[in-house]
Amino acid sequence: MEETSLLLLISGLTISPSRSQMFVGDSVSLSCEEDDGSAGWTVRRNTTRPQSECGDQWGKAAASSCNIDVVFTRDTGVYWCESREGATSNSINLTVTGGSVILQSPVLPVMEGDDLTLSCQSKPPSSLPAAFYKDGALIRTESTGHMTLHQVSRSDEGLYRCNMSGYGASPSSWISVTCEELTLMSTPISSTQSPDQTFSTFRESPAPFLSSLHLGFTLLLHLLVFPYFISTLLMVSLYQRRQR
């Protein structure tokens, strides 16, 4: 609950459907979750073409969202939100394949200790066994097409893909694993680094950001919890007095 409320205070880029691999022809919606609604965030991207913003030869801009009705392989690239002042959000790697298999993996970093479920999806959908690979090496084959790694650690970070007999292989996607506190960094904003740097920079020096978050949270705790606590105490003592 604490994390949810904290995450709501921070803006970031979200993608719908929530996966980083798409088939050619899919529709994609990218949204900048705004912190106060006044920053004027726009979705930008860097593909094989020069980097540009939504509405400029690609996508349809709508408020702080961007819709791409039909994606092609040329839409493969890195996407992020940028404010008028030049602050950037977290970035998402989007890969569009002309093939028949995609890997469904979490778009945001996975928390250390959490389970990670990967799904191999074919087009048209099937329920065939799928083989899962990490950094080019076979992990295992699953008859269900889904694979769960339990309690992931930093060593599970890497480049994942899958294949399905008769359909072929998916593209590769990078999956990052982060320690619990740094999950908050999945949606950092108000940094002036380029989106690719945002992550690593925060990871290397999370302290100032985290401590300001902690400060904010402690403040929130004092403002919300203490009055509640005190009024509960008052009520209890009043009740006890009345009973006497």
Judged by the rule CB under 6 A, the positions of this chain that interact with ligand NAG are 46, 51, 91, 93, 129-131, 141, 163-165, 174, 176, 194, 196, 199
What is the nearest approach in angstroms of ligand NAG to the Cβ of residue 5?
Answer: 24
Of the pair 131, 220, the CB lying nearest ligand NAG is at: 131
Of the pair 35, 53, the CB lying nearest ligand NAG is at: 53
What is the nearest approach in angstroms of ligand NAG to the Cβ of residue 14?
Answer: 13
What is the nearest approach in angstroms of ligand NAG to the Cβ of residue 231?
Answer: 45
Of the pair 98, 129, the CB lying nearest ligand NAG is at: 129
Beta-bridge partners for 15: 30
Of the pair 39, 110, the CB lying nearest ligand NAG is at: 110
Of the pair 65, 187, the CB lying nearest ligand NAG is at: 187
Q: What are the CA-CA distances from residue 54 to residues 15, 24, 32, 63, 64 (Å)?
A: 14, 19, 12, 11, 10
What is the nearest approach in angstroms of ligand NAG to the Cβ of residue 51?
Answer: 5
Select the residue whose beta carbon is closest to ligand NAG and give its number. 165
What is the nearest approach in angstroms of ligand NAG to the Cβ of residue 195?
Answer: 7
What is the nearest approach in angstroms of ligand NAG to the Cβ of residue 79?
Answer: 9
Of the pair 39, 162, the CB lying nearest ligand NAG is at: 162
